[in-house]
Amino acid sequence: MGKNNGQGNSWTVRIMALLVACALWLYVMNEQNPFTTRTFSVPLTKENLASDMVVHDLPETVKIKVSGPRSQVSAISENSLKAYVDFSGAVKGLGTYNVLGKTPLGEIIEISPNLLQLNLDTVGERVLEIEPRIVGVPNSGVTVGKMNLSPMKVTIQGASSRIAEVGKVVVLVDISNKDKNFEDDAAVVAVSKDAREMYDIKVEPSKVHVSVEVLKQLATKSFPISVDLSGNLPTGFKVDKIIVTPDAVKLTAEPQLISNLKEIKTAPVVLDKLTGDVELKMPLNIPDKVLADAHNVMVEIKLKKAE
């Protein structure tokens, strides 16, 4: 009996010693390499999205919080992390999607945002003829004559609903300080029916070759800018003040094209949903074949309660 008790005590001592050693090891490791957390900004990518589908308003980045031993967490870089949405089986329309993540070290404890409301649409395509849009002002006494574009048509591609909103495609031809014929490769941009540039629409080719004939004899004059207000403010509000910056635009054209102009209007500002002060970047309605030193202005609208 005494011998058995001795053996039992020996095993008890050994087990206790092992537990103490493990606890001591954990303590030392925690002191030398404690657990920590770190948050990274990670590009958000798409996986398994059908080739004929496109996603609206997908965030460029998400936040990923990683936890683990300090030695591991400090070795992580944003490039080693992955954030993605899996679109396997996704269909057209509005849906809720999980944001998933991967890390080579440590453990992901939080992704923000981790759920996204996204609208999927089918890819649409159209072929449109390019319209030249002149930007800048040439040297005094000259104007733009003939312009040749090569190619004259481009293909636009994007979400079907957005393709339907495209009014035209324009090529931006900069004639600043030009006083003789020139050639250039100029960017092509899709423009909506309300004159707003649509940078989410892919244009192919994105640039075209432009040959510009520069002619002499122009008239230049400044015109006040008028804000075109559309619709009605909600009940209980009225416009207190409208500030336009700049408040005038300089036009250059053949004299007969601008002789009867009194002012230049902005694109319509819709009032129906305004309930507070706003500042908007608005395009100007520049007449055809007229050069302008600005194509957009800032419009600040201040409201007050109606009496």
pLDDT tens-digit series, residues 142-185: 777 888 999 999 999 988 989 999 999 999 888 888 888 999 99
What is the residue whose two structure tokens read 């957009």?
A: 296
Q: 3-class SS at 26?
A: helix
Give the closest residue to 217 by CA, choosing from 180, 255, 183, 250: 255
Please tell me the predicted confidence (pLDDT) of residue 33: 56
Helix ranges (H only) for 174-289 are 255-258
| 35-113 and 123-216: identical CATH topology | yes
The answer, yes or no, to whether the previous bond of 59 is cis (omega within 30 of 0) is no
pTM score of the predicted model: 0.50
Element (H, E) at 86: strand 82-86
pLDDT category of residue 224 using cuts at 50, 70 and 90? very high
User: Distance between CA 132 and CA 170 in Å, rounded?
Assistant: 5
Please tell me the predicted confidence (pLDDT) of residue 20: 64
Domain residue ranges of the chain, discontinuous segments joined by +: 35-113, 123-216, 219-305
Q: b/e map of 111-134 (b: 16 or more CB within 10 Å)?
A: beeeebebebbeebeeebebebbb
Q: Domain 35-113 is in which class?
A: mainly beta
Cβ neighbors of 120 (< 8 A, separation 6 or more) are 53, 54, 55, 56, 87, 90, 91, 92, 93, 95
Please tell me the predicted confidence (pLDDT) of residue 177: 83
User: Residue 115 pLDDT more than 90?
Assistant: yes
Report the percent of the chain where pLDDT is more than 90. Answer: 51
Give the closest residue to 61 by CA, choosing from 107, 111, 96: 111
Residue 85 in tokens:
């949405």
User: Distance between CA 83 and CA 99 in Å, rounded?
Assistant: 7
pLDDT tens-digit series, residues 9-53: 676 766 776 776 666 656 555 555 588 899 999 999 999 999 889
Give the closest residue to 181 by CA, choosing from 209, 144, 208, 218: 144
Q: Domain 123-216 is in which class?
A: mainly beta
Give the closest residue to 264 by CA, choosing from 238, 246, 237: 246
Please tell me the predicted confidence (pLDDT) of residue 202: 92
Q: What is the CATH number of domain 219-305?
A: 2.170.120.40
pLDDT tens-digit series, residues 284-295: 999 998 999 999
Cβ neighbors of 284 (< 8 A, separation 6 or more) are 225, 249, 264, 265, 266, 267, 292, 294, 295, 296, 297
User: Residue 68 pLDDT more than 80?
Assistant: yes
pLDDT category of residue 57 using cuts at 50, 70 and 90? confident
* Averaged pLDDT score across all residues of the chain: 87
